Every structure is written in structure tokens, then in C-alpha cells.
Structure 1
Amino acid sequence: MEATAHVDTFARDNLPPESQWPVLLLDNADVAYPARLNCAAELLDRAIEAGRGAAPAIWSEVDGKPHATTYARLRTLVDRSAHVLVEDMGLVPGNRVLLRGPNTLQMAVAFLAALKAGLVVVPTMPLLRAKELKQIVDKAQIAAALCDARLTDELSRCTNPDDEFFCAGLKQVRPFHDDAPGSLEQLAAGKPDTFTACDTASDDVCLIAFTSGTTGTPKGCMHFHRDVLSMCDLFPRHVLKPTAEDVFCGTPPLAFTFGLGGILCFPLRSGASTVLIEKLTPPLLLQAIEQFRATIVFTAPTFYRQMAPLVKDADISSLRKTVSAGEALPQATRDLWREATGIEMIDGIGGTEMIHIFISSAGGDVRPGSIGRAVPGYVVQALDDALEPVAPGVTGHLAVRGPTGCRYLADERQMKFVRNGWNLPGDAVSIDADGYVYYQARADDMIVSSGYNIAGPEVETVLMQHPAVAECGVIGAPDELRGQVVKAFVVLRPGFKGDEAMVSELQNFVKNAVAAYKYPRVVAFIDALPRTETGKLKRAVLRTM
């Protein structure tokens, strides 16, 4: 590895041993990066050097009208903010900084400023509660956070010594999206307009993206500066093929790597612009496409299903390409969207461990029922239990190699995800003789609902804290609208009644403990859970009930 620029070497010190890394395919002109690079400088400064300074970079809605922040203005905001991180907050390269906020210009500025200063960004979902934030703060040993001023409530519990979710190591929380004294914007206003990017190594960690495992214990996926560029230079270059005139838009949070790539890094890398809007429903997304003349959209199949019947009442003539990821794309949804818009969906499968999409196809390369083929730069196979290739058309474990790959933060599950140099995302697939990949199912117990990953055992842990619950089992139940919904099978204690009032009580109990999207939309009361002789819950049996 190249000599690190990190003063705080925690991230590099907690990488898994290189013997546990996947094989990395770096002998590729698309990802032939220099030994020293800072991905924020590559995304922002290079666009300006190429003459895009006066071009729009980020679109926001101000007083109901589109407002453009140019590349030059964005760099000024980023550079001033980087000065605040270093000078006022005293952060040094390698320090982890937690980011908490919705999709806004201010969130993007905070993200890029932290990267440019050589910090390790740990983005978090706006919906996460104090319990979930504490797990992340403690795991990544985070001492500083940048938080949207409207979302400080849950995070403030982590800085309160009297709260059960107190994090002793979290020393400072700086608000942004706020003009009050001491906010990021207020301090940045008095800083110089230029900041020299930290001279980071291309293999310095710059991002720890957390994902929930099936146990509910978060896993931190560590990505290098070169990985951020790799996600921009493979799927977009070979499949999406954007131009500088494109306007990106979409729903995935910047805290998800799907959103980080699709609606921030991809447009910046191509000199295009992106629309950042906080809350988008299907009707509002169609309205945003019309208002901002968006040409490329990223969202989950759920949104496409709900938008299809509404398209006739919106002017989406600007739209050229639509990308679906985050959950399996049903063929019926693909067909529905094509019939409504005339646009062939670009499906894709990726993952936080891989940073972004590694299987996809577009236009004439689309084959019915298939996700697509390996994105150039990646290799995929279907393997049997002995990790040997299966014949074309035979279902096996999805295995992938490329320039990016899984490196968990101090986590023994590294050896489960990476075996024999392959990344094993936990999907069952078949691959035909032409390399087209056909998704079968998740090979683990992760529930994917409307693009959100939800760990069943985590929901069970919350439900078990309710005084009425004796035991419970949580699975993903098929749902036409959301792909899957969280379904809880609950055994009540004597004296409690399994009625609609109890259903509502349990649902609200979960909503108040963890992110609201994890609550069980379906609750079934049963007399006993199916278990093995050793007491292990038979989830497969629950799925048939």
C-alpha cells in the first residue's frame, strides 16, 4: 500500500489482513489511477479545470423555483467548509466524521469538504435513531459529527452523559443547514475561498459505509479514494454513458452508496448537474423531473411502479434514462414503465461492500428477466457450495471480482463475504451462456423493502422488549408494491389480546425504537414459533405460513 496521508491511522489499522481481501482487478485502463489522489479534488477541481466552472453543478428548489449552484460556487463552499473542519474543529487526516442529513446542497458540501480535508466520511441515514447511531459511532470510533440542524435530536442523545445511548468518544457535533453562530455555514463564511486538498494516497480510506447485516449488527464497509472514482468510471462510462448536459435526479439518500454515486459523484465526474431535493414521493419525483428537466433518474422499482400510471399527467419529455436498483426489478414493473414512458429500464445490482453497481445492461443489451451482464472491469460467476463454477443456467451463489471489493471494519464476517478471492454478496443467481445474470433470491435473511435493507433479527430484538411479547420471528413477506414488507409472527404472553389495537401498539413501539421504515407492516399472532430441536427459529417455515 502507498504511504498514508492519515495522521489518525485507525481506518488503515483496522482494515482486514490483505490475505482476507478479495482479488482486485486493477490492470485496467479505466481504473489506472496515480498513487496519490484525493477523490473530492478529482470530482470537483478537475471539472472546473475542464471549463465547467460556470456550469450548474447542483440544483435546489428555492422559493418554489429551480436554483443552480455552479461548479465554481460549489468549490468555494466546499473549500471554505474544509477550513472549518481543520481550523475550528481541529480535525486531522484520518479522523472519522459522521454525516447526518437529507439530500441537500449543504449535505453535499459537507461530504465533499470532509473528503477534501482527508477525513474519513461516515454517512448515516436521516431516519436512524440514537440506538443505531451509537452502534456506528462506537464501531468507527467517531469523535466528530456534522449534522443537519433539523436532525440533531437523536444525535444529541449520543452526547448526553445521562442518556443510555451516550457515546463517550463523540466530542463535538457541528450543525449545518443553519445560519446560527457556530454553524458550519456561519464559520465558513469568513474562511478563504481556496483549500489545498489533502495529499491522500489513492488507497487511503475515505468512506466507511455502514450496512445492516442479518444479525442487525452494522458492518462498516471501508472504501478508498480510488474506489469512489472506480464507481464513477465503470458503470456510468460503459452502461449509463452520461454527458455534461445531463441532469441527474433521484430518491436514494446520499448515505447509501447507490445515492452517493447516482446523484452526486456520477454527475460531478461527468461535468453534469444533479437535483438534490429532501423528500420525494412518486408524484413529487415526476414533478421534479418536469421542473428541472431531468434526463437521468435513479430510484427503486417501488417508485417506478407507482409513477407509471401518473406519467400521463406530467411532462417528462426530458427524461432519457432511468436506473433501477436497491431491490429486484420485476419484469412486470419493467414492462409497465416501458409502456408508460417508452423508456427501457436500466436494471442493476450492486452493494455497499462493492460500493456500487457491478451487473447491469442498457438499451439493446437488455434481455427479458435478466439484471444484465458484468459491468466492464468486473467478473461474475455462479458458484456451488464448494465455490466451483456451475453450468450455465444452473442456480448458484453470485460471486464477483473487480477493482472494488469488501473490506469490513474490524469484523470477522469478512471471511464469510470474501472466500477464495471472490466477493459473495449472498444472492442466488443463474448465468446463461452469454453472461446474462438472472436473480433468484437473497441467500440470507435480509429483508429488502422499497429499496431499504432491513435485518429481521434487529426488529425481533425490539419487539422482544415489549411487555406483551413472549417471542417473535420476523421475515420478509412478498408485496406487490414494495417488493417485500416486514412481517412479524408474535407469540403473546398470557393476559394480552392479539387484536388490531395490539398490532398498532407493537408497530408504534418499533417505530419509536428504530428507523420507522423497519416497523412490521404485517403482524400475525400465533401460539408458538416453529423451531429446530436445538431451539433455532425455522425462518423457512415462517415464510410458508
Structure 2
Amino acid sequence: MEPSSSAHADSFCRDRLPPPSLRPEFHFDLPELDYPDRLNCAHRLLDDSVARLGPDRPCLLTPDDRWTYGELLLRAGQVAQVLTEDFGLRPGNRVLLRGPNNPWLVAGWFGVLKAGCVAVTTMPLLRAAELSEVADISRPALAVCDHRYTEELDATGRAGTAPDLPVLTYGASGPADLTARCAAKDGRFTTVATAADDVALIAFTSGTSGRPKATLHFHRDVLATADTFSRHVLRPRPDDVFTGTPPLAFTFGLGGLVVFPLSVGASTLLVEQASPEGLAGLVEEYGVTVLFTAPTAYRAIMAAGAVGRLAGLRRCVSAGEALPAAVWEEFHAATGLRIIDGIGSTEMLHVFLAAADEDIRPGSIGRPVPGYRAAVVDERGDPVPDGRPDLLAVTGPTGCRYLADPRQAAYVRNGWNITGDTCVRDEHGYFWYVARSDDMIVSSGHNIAGPEVERALATHPHVAECGVVGAPDERRGMRVTAYVVLRAGVPAGGATVRELQAHVKRAIAPYKYPRAVEFVPELPRTGTGKLRRAELRARAGGEAVPPA
């Protein structure tokens, strides 16, 4: 697609797009990906849904509240009025959003986009130094924040180089709060006619150097995730009720809890916080039919004996980390449900490899989602034979655009998005995850994937969860080291270590077994459930472990 004439008066994002030579190849093979030059994804998802289905349709549910599509449209229009009339924001200005998954965060996101601004949604658990870095990179004009989460945001000026950021709270009392300001507006707002290739959102992802990477996504990209993975793999229905655990700042959560349900007129249950057992109870209570969460939650629901509460589900989606075949099989045996395992990235916006229903091969991450192409390539970018592990490369209607970041040249090579994952493609076109490319453990000349050892360990009945990394070793170069959370009642002694080691030797090549096993009460995880491998590597190397 040729660049369109931008509607952004503030050209900050467009000025910081990667140069054309460093952008990935984009292709729009499906007819539904033929978007018009003028496109605002908020209008397409919300205004068009109301026009098509009516305003009284249930949209956003919580344990305490219920908004219809018409109410969300009204409040999104009011938010856009507050941003433009009260704060003078112009199209292209960035707005930082901070809060847990609740209706006002969604209204804020839609209001930002309807005003032609750029949404910068942040994880609610970020601390002041992290928020300062986000603000320093994205330069927001305003922060819209849940009133319970302002303390760290207020401290950003002291924590870094970002200028003081004006903060507009929501959910508090008083005339200055967003909710009070919205009540004084009529909600009649004409959505800004953004270009399809105007930046709609900046999503942040961790960088190995410590400095986060800001990924730029267009309005058409947001809709492309619904018109590829959701339409062709998930296949939602208007009567579906969605829920899940990923924060809306995590693009997996944005798609699964906002974009996909609203694209078909379905409703979504927003949960600020819930244990796995509590999540299962909400699924039962609210008649949830589509669940988005991480492998850890599926394991925990089974461990809690709560799978009976999932009887109403028809779709389960897993992403964020590899889903072991043993967990898939155990969950299928307990529920009859086939978990849709997919792999995506913040750089690609959502899932690009997946399979559903009879097309699933347990343990595989599936095949290219319609609209995407994938290959396994070597360092030169040449395809490698099926069965050989190497770098995963992807192209499609979405792709990596870092904001003024030299790491763009490493992620995009020869037009391909090189995701940082090591995979194998089999003769049937299925892809099998091996490890993150930087998670390979080279021990005595052998390449050993930590996640492969984890999958073997996870099949032992004593193991609740585990993480495997390499530790420095003078003789071997690296030593395979496992951190294991045992199930209740299992003794954490030498006999258990030896039993687990023997189990791994029986399950996979014996040279891959963990030569060191340490029992821990819990594993370090991100707010989205991903294992913090960097912390485990630091611990294995005897380094000081940074606070979570």
C-alpha cells in the first residue's frame, strides 16, 4: 500500500518511523485486508458496530458493572471531547494510559483514537523509573490514569529525564476527574478521519539491553489482527462472551479482550485481578465462551480442580510462552477443549502462527495464520531444510516498526521479520517452537534448548512448574540448570533431584538433562505471565537479581 496523506498535525511518530530500507515487506493477500486510505480503527470497531447492531447490545462486563455498545460509544466520544476541548490535544499527540483492565481504560483507548491521537497503554505494575523511560521515548502530552495508580506516575519526573507529565485521573471524586469532565460533555464527537497508515498505538516490549523498544502500529494494523487470526482461526460469534488475564497494554490482551470481541459485536468480561481458580469461577458465572490466558493459568486451573467450571467454554487461546504438549493433552482430557496455541510478538502486534480444532498438533505452534507467510532461515536469511532448527522469519499485513531505534536493523532483515525465536518446520508445514534464540544453552558443544528441557520436566507428576537456563561452567561452558516448583507434599531433597534427572534422561536425549536442580517456592514472572528468564540466568550466574 502506498503512504496516505496523514491526518496527524503532530508528526512525532511519522518522523520517527524506520527508513524504508529497514522496514519489513508487507502484503495484503486477503480481500478483507484491502483497507481504504482513510480509516480510523476506533470508528470501525465501535461506531460501525453500533450502527450495525444497535446501541443496546452488551459490550463491557465487570463483576460490578455493565456497559452497552451505546454507552461505550457515548463515553469514548466524551473522552475525545475532554482531550480536545479541555486539554487542547491535536491529532498525533500521544496519550499515556495507565490502569487495570476495566471499562474506563477501554473508553480512554477508544477516545484517544477517535481524537486522532496515539494510545500508549502501559502495564499497571510499572514503576516510576520504567514509566519515565516510556515517557522519555514516546513523549506523551497527557497521561490518563486510574486514580488508584497515580503514585508511580507522579514520581516519573524525579525518576528520569522525561518532563513533568500532566495526569488526568479517572474513577475518583471531584470536578477535575475524567468521569466528572465526561459527564459535562454530550459525547457527540466526529471521529478524526485518520489515514490507514497513521500510527494508532505505541506498544512497548522489553529489550535485552534493558531499554524498552517502542513499536509503532497503524490503524490498519489493528484491524488486520481481527481480519487474520480472529476471523480465520478463532472464528468468534456475536453471542460470544470473552474474558482473560492479559493486560490491555499487552497486545495479546488488546486483541483478545477488545479488538476481537468488538469486531463481531460480542461482549467481553474485564477482570482487574483474579486467581486461576477465581478466573474459572467467573467463566462459569458469566457464561464466558472464549478465554485468553497463559499456559501457567491453564495448569493452575487444573491443579486447583476447577476445570468443571469451564464447561461453557468453546474456545481457549494460549500465548505468551510455549504450551507443552503434556499440558494440552491433560487439559483436553479434562475438558474436551482444544487449546489454540499461537505465537505472536509485540512487533507483529498479535498472533501469526496458530492452529484450531482438528488442525491442531499438540506441542506445535501451528501454521501461518491466513494473511501471513513464515519460514525458518539461517543467519544469511536463506531457508533451511525442514526438520532443522533455525530462525523464525515472518511477513504479513503487520510488521516491525521500532520508534527511532537502531535495533530495527536486527529485527528486519531482507524484508523478513526475524522474531528472535528458534523453530523447526516439519514436512507438513507445522512449526515447532524450540527456544528463544538467546535461550539456547551451549554445553560441551551441544545446543540445548531450555524450553525443551522444561517440557520434559513438566511431564513428571512432582513438578508444578519449572524454568531452565544455562549457568557458567568452566568445564562445559554452560551447565543446564533447572529451577523447579514442586507440587504440595513432595520432599525437596536429593532423591527428588535424582528422580527428576532420570525422568528427563528418559524423555529426551540424556545429554540435555539438568545437571543442577534447585527447588524454589515460585518462579519470577512478568505481569503477563511470561517467565523472567533473565532473572533466572542472573541467579544461575551468581549475579544480583534485580527486583521484579
TM over 0.5: yes
Distance 1:525 1:4, change over 3 A: closer
Q: Are residues 1:408 and 2:402 paired?
A: yes
Distance 1:413 1:189, change over 3 A: same
Q: Are residues 1:187 and 2:181 paired?
A: yes
Q: How many Å separate the matches in 2 of 1:250 and 1:528?
A: 35
Whether the 8 Å contact between 1:111 and 1:121 is mirrored in structure 2 is: yes
**Structure 1 equivalent of residue 196 of structure 2:** 202
Q: Which residues of structure 2 form unaligned runs of 5+?
A: 442-449, 459-463, 473-520
Deviations 1:482-526 (A, max 9, x none): 56389999xxxxxxxxxxxxxxxxx9xx99xxx999695798587
Q: Are residues 1:57 and 2:59 paired?
A: yes
Return the TM-score normalized by structure 2: 0.82
Whether the 8 Å contact between 1:348 and 1:358 is mirrored in structure 2 is: yes
**Structure 1 equivalent of residue 15 of structure 2:** 13
- C-alpha displacement of 1:157: 0.6
Paired letter, 1:230:
A
Q: How many Å separate the matches in 1 of 2:543 and 2:76?
A: 56
Q: How many Å separate the matches in 1 of 2:359 and 2:200?
A: 34
Equivalence map 1:112-191=2 (5 Å) = 112-159=110-157, 163-165=158-160, 167-168=162-163, 170-191=164-185
Whether the 8 Å contact between 1:131 and 1:165 is mirrored in structure 2 is: yes
**Structure 2 equivalent of residue 392 of structure 1:** 386
- C-alpha displacement of 1:193: 2.4
Picking from 41, 45, 70, the partner of 1:72 is 70
- Please state whether the residue corresponding to 1:297 is helix, strand or coil: strand
- C-alpha displacement of 1:446: 11
Q: How many Å separate the matches in 2 of 1:280 and 1:206?
A: 30
**Structure 2 equivalent of residue 293 of structure 1:** 287
**Structure 2 equivalent of residue 46 of structure 1:** 48
Equivalence map 1:169-318=2 (5 Å) = 170-312=164-306, 314-318=308-312
- Please state whether the residue corresponding to 1:43 is helix, strand or coil: helix
Q: How many Å separate the matches in 1 of 2:440 and 2:383?
A: 25
Picking from 310, 331, 354, the partner of 2:325 is 331
- Please state whether the residue corresponding to 2:154 is helix, strand or coil: helix
Q: How many Å separate the matches in 2 of 1:436 and 1:520?
A: 32
Equivalence map 1:338-487=2 (5 Å) = 338-444=332-438, 478=454, 480=458, 481=464, 484=467
- C-alpha displacement of 1:324: 0.3
- Please state whether the residue corresponding to 1:424 is helix, strand or coil: strand
Q: How many Å separate the matches in 2 of 1:289 and 1:254?
A: 19
Paired letter, 2:160:
F
- Please state whether the residue corresponding to 2:310 is helix, strand or coil: coil
**Structure 1 equivalent of residue 494 of structure 2:** none
Return the TM-score normalized by structure 1: 0.82
**Structure 1 equivalent of residue 101 of structure 2:** 103
Q: Which residues of structure 1 form unaligned runs of 5+?
A: 448-474, 490-506, 530-545
Paired letter, 2:23:
W
**Structure 2 equivalent of residue 2 of structure 1:** 4
Whether the 8 Å contact between 1:7 and 1:93 is mirrored in structure 2 is: yes
Paired letter, 2:467:
Q
Picking from 24, 27, 31, the partner of 2:26 is 24
Distance 1:405 1:187, change over 3 A: same
Whether the 8 Å contact between 1:58 and 1:274 is mirrored in structure 2 is: yes
**Structure 1 equivalent of residue 484 of structure 2:** none
The alignment of Structure 1 onto Structure 2 pairs a total of residues equal to 472
Deviations 1:333-384 (A, max 9, x none): 1011111111011000000000000000011001132111000000000001
**Structure 1 equivalent of residue 492 of structure 2:** none
Paired letter, 1:213:
G
For the aligned residue pairs, the C-alpha RMSD in angstroms reads 2.6
Q: How many Å separate the matches in 2 of 1:444 and 1:403?
A: 27
Paired letter, 1:252:
P
Q: How many Å separate the matches in 2 of 1:222 and 1:126?
A: 20
Distance 1:383 1:109, change over 3 A: same
- Please state whether the residue corresponding to 1:425 is helix, strand or coil: strand
Q: How many Å separate the matches in 1 of 2:33 and 2:39?
A: 12
- Please state whether the residue corresponding to 2:419 is helix, strand or coil: coil
Equivalence map 1:516-531=2 (5 Å) = 520=535
- Please state whether the residue corresponding to 1:438 is helix, strand or coil: strand
Paired letter, 2:136:
D
**Structure 2 equivalent of residue 472 of structure 1:** none
Whether the 8 Å contact between 2:24 and 2:416 is mirrored in structure 1 is: yes
Whether the 8 Å contact between 1:52 and 1:271 is mirrored in structure 2 is: no
Whether the 8 Å contact between 1:488 and 1:520 is mirrored in structure 2 is: no
- Please state whether the residue corresponding to 1:400 is helix, strand or coil: strand
Paired letter, 1:327:
E
Q: How many Å separate the matches in 2 of 1:520 and 1:35?
A: 45
Q: Are residues 1:34 and 2:29 paired?
A: no
Paired letter, 1:88:
D
